[in-house]
Structure 1
Amino acid sequence: MIYIADTASGPGIASRLGITPGTLRKWRMKGHGPATFKIGGRVVAHEHAVAEYIAMLERA
């Protein structure tokens, strides 16, 4: 699982996409970006969901 912002364990979703955490939050509200969900009030994504989203962008 990875969080929106960077943590001590590594880069977050936003860093992997080359955007700010605020931009990713806006995308989520519009239904864009990789599949995310909440755990304990924090937004997370599976690493494979982020990788799949990046691969989709590369194919487009």
Structure 2
Amino acid sequence: MAKAILGHVGGPDPRMVAEMRRLQRRVRDLEAELVRLQAENDALSVDQDDVLTLRAKDREPALT
């Protein structure tokens, strides 16, 4: 009865298995890209903090 409800007769559908594998690969690719972008963002954030610190140190006092 359960096989009839799920539509599986004779084992898993090869198209379904292929689609699951494709989706799993896509998820892994997206996770890897997320890690790469987070690392790049962190590096840019550190660089930006260094630039702001240097600008504050190099400022000349305002004339009064």
Structure-1-length-normalised TM-score: 0.26
Structure number having the greater helix percentage: 2
Structure number having the greater strand percentage: 1
Structure-2-length-normalised TM-score: 0.24
